Amino acid sequence: MAKATGYHAGELAAQARLGDTARAEHLGRSIRSTVPSVAAAFLAERQLLVVGAADETGRIWATVLTGEPGFVSVPDERTIVVAASPRPDDPLAGVLRGSAPASVGTVALEPATRRRMRVNGLAEAAGPSGLRLRTEQVFSNCPKYIQKRRPVRHTPTTAPGPARWSSALSAAQQAFVATADTFFLATADADGHVDASHRGGLPGFVELLSPTRLRWADYAGNGAYMTLGNLELNPRAGLVLPDWESGDTLLLTGEARTNWQERSVEFELTAAVLLPGALPMRWTEPEYSPANPPLR
């Protein structure tokens, strides 16, 4: 059994450092190990699920799974079934399509209404192209920093291209990252329990320091500091940036550390993977969240 609904030492330290212990304790009472009926209904309508996990070498990655409404289902209050799995050249294909359980963190996102839900637990393959997740932490987040987008029907005219690996961002990838308004971040605690979260802001909120270094401000959230808490104990992290227009996804893995004086996070990548055409759907232009702070 993983950490269930309690906070670990890193999260408690981050909450105390930022003076949010009381708010975190209140939020902690809403974190559960089972999926309530309202959450099951929300999941059943989703078309996009972010999954974070460690690969066979221990590197943390985040990736995106998609499907028609109903591709995520909840057969019972402790089980989520996902009728999708990573493509074979995805860095997480091996662990998420294998038979051994893997710790995962997931984010189910509905950009059109700025709603999101996080589920963490143990996942294993379910059939030739699916996942079964045993839930350990289930909770909703506020709508802050989610850019409003709506899915658009799209029929791909070309097959997805092969994965492109690199040890640094290309010029085109640097330009994409520097103008992104959304990414998803996977981290893990000292025992390897993975969590995935959403990060959003105005284009430019991710600063490009070099082809291998990024920085972003840590905006005020729900007060639990699960991501910063994990980074207190384990610097490994993975990012995924979806290209809402082209359907490409950019996956990054490396290490991240918190600058507490600036309340920012710096990420040093060790590998990048571009998955051309990984997302079959497209999305409308964003309506930026009114909660997005001005750029520094």
Give tens-digit pLDDT for 169-220.
999 999 999 999 999 999 999 999 999 999 999 999 999 999 999 999 999 8
**Domain 9-283 has what CATH class?**
mainly beta
Among all chains, which residue has been given the structure tokens 């658009």? 152
Exposed, middle or buried by CB within 10 Å (0-12, 13-18, 19+), for 273?
Answer: buried
Render 207-259 in DSSP notation, one character per residue. EEEETTEEEEE----SS--HHHHHHHH--EEEEEEE-TTT--EEEEEEEEEEE
The predicted pLDDT at position 5 comes to: 54
Give tens-digit pLDDT for 28-78.
888 999 999 999 999 999 999 999 999 999 999 999 999 999 999 999 999
**H or E element at residue 57:** none
Strands of the 131-141 sheet, one edge to the other: 60-66, 48-54, 102-110, 115-125, 131-141, 79-82, 72-76
Give the pair of three-digit tokens for residue 280.
């079959």
Listed range (99-113, 143-157, 243-257, 278-292) with the worst mean pLDDT: 143-157
**H or E element at residue 73:** strand 72-76
Distance CA 50, CA 68 (A): 15
Domain spans in the chain, listed from the N-terminal domain onward: 9-283
Distance CA 265, CA 120 (A): 22
Distance CA 242, CA 91 (A): 15
The predicted pLDDT at position 294 comes to: 96
Q: How confident is the model at residue 154 (pLDDT cuts 50, 70, 90)?
A: confident
Helix, strand, coil percentages (3-state) for the chain, rounded to 5, are: 15, 40, 45
Minimal CA–CA distance to 177: which of 114, 287, 269? 269
93: number of Cβ within 10 Å: 16
